[in-house]
Amino acid sequence: MRYTSTAIEALIEEFAKLPGIGRKTAQRLSMHILQEKPGEVEKLSRALTDVKEKVISCSICQNVTDRGDDPCSICRGKGRDLSKICVVESPPDVLAFEKTAQYRGLYHVLHGVISPLDGVGPDDIKVKELLARLSLQDGREVSEVIMALSPTVEGETTVLYVSRLLKPLGIEVTKIARGIPVGAELEYIDEATLSRAMEGRSVL
């Protein structure tokens, strides 16, 4: 069953292609757009094409940045600890760490993890760029690379792969702790996490 307007049908179809948006939500969004001011819709439409035209990867950390703003604001940032690089999978992870306001080092975005099942090998993610960066003049300052990938099989594989590449360079490779999240109740934590928490216990 289709709307009497093909333009609305087209918009519903496009919205429904987005992740987590089904046909019902797409319908509601389209009805909202229909009633929205033309200027507002124009802004959304412009923002969409802008992202494809203006966003590039930072030549240093591979995080997203705007054309004409390379290296990105974090790589250029003052007061950053240049001796640490935190390796993450995707741009939102950088944001997550920045929100902690604790970590003040640099980042490196891999844009993926090694996943042979999905046909993603070491050359498909930004590992080469990490190595290149470490061998540059600025990279010599780096003493620690912190692997902050998701605790999945693919994440752990990538951690192992990168650490084997970096250790011969005399750089310390660490990975973030797996353990019980703050605020969680012990009895509801799964066995794997509890085991990791026990292994990673620290002296008081």
Site for a second copy, rule CB under 8 A: 1-8, 10-11, 13-15, 17-21, 25, 27-34, 38, 40-55, 58, 63-66, 69, 72-74, 90-92, 94-95, 98-99
Instruction: Give me the least distance between CB of 3 and a second copy, in Å please.
Output: 6
DSSP state of 115: B
Instruction: Give me the least distance between CB of 66 and a second copy, in Å please.
Output: 5
Could you tell me which of 64, 92, 87 has the C-alpha nearest to residue 134? Answer: 87
* C-beta closer to a second copy: residue 34 or 153: 34
Instruction: Give me the least distance between CB of 122 and a second copy, in Å please.
Output: 20
Residues 149-181 as b or e (16 or more Cβ within 10 Å = b): beeeebbbbbbebbbebbeeeebebebeeebee
Structure tokens at 161: 């792969």
According to DSSP, the residues that pair with 105 across neighbouring strands are: 81
* C-beta closer to a second copy: residue 12 or 146: 12
* C-beta closer to a second copy: residue 5 or 143: 5
CB 85, CB 74: distance < 8 Å: no
Instruction: Give me the least distance between CB of 20 and a second copy, in Å please.
Output: 7
* C-beta closer to a second copy: residue 98 or 199: 98
* C-beta closer to a second copy: residue 24 or 140: 24
CB 141, CB 82: distance < 8 Å: yes
Instruction: Give me the least distance between CB of 157 and a second copy, in Å please.
Output: 21
DSSP codes of every residue in 11-22 = HHHHHHTSTT--
